[in-house]
Amino acid sequence: MVQKTDWSKIENVFAFLEKKDEGRKLRESEKELILGQRQINRRFFEALKEILETMSPSMNAPQRSVAQSTKALTALKKSISKVPGERPPGCAGDLGK
């Protein structure tokens, strides 16, 4: 039986990409870009999860007031604004350093 690869481990991702590209070693900048994309993906996941939890109607919950809905939307906007982070990783702005 073939064992499934654990893609949560970054070493497995790097090994797969290096093997796929005929054994060429990934450059540090490529690794940084991959790590950065994983961070962004995680923040997207967290923001979407929060949206679903906040906006999903519950059978037990009474209707929300306008103030509660506005407060929830403000919190969601703040959460979504965190997705790209303060400094997106692996960006060209780092080349001069």
Q: Model-level pTM?
A: 0.57
**Burial profile 61-95: b = 16 or more Cβ within 10 angstroms, e = fewer:** eeeeeeeeeeebeeebeebbeebeeeeebbeeeee
Query: pLDDT tens for residues 15-32?
Result: 988 888 888 899 998 998
- Could you report the per-residue pLDDT of 56-92, keeping only the tens digit for each? 666 555 666 777 777 777 877 877 777 766 665 555 4
Domain boundaries, given as residue ranges, for the chain = 10-55+65-85
The secondary structure of 72-84 as a DSSP string is: HHHHHHHHHHTTT
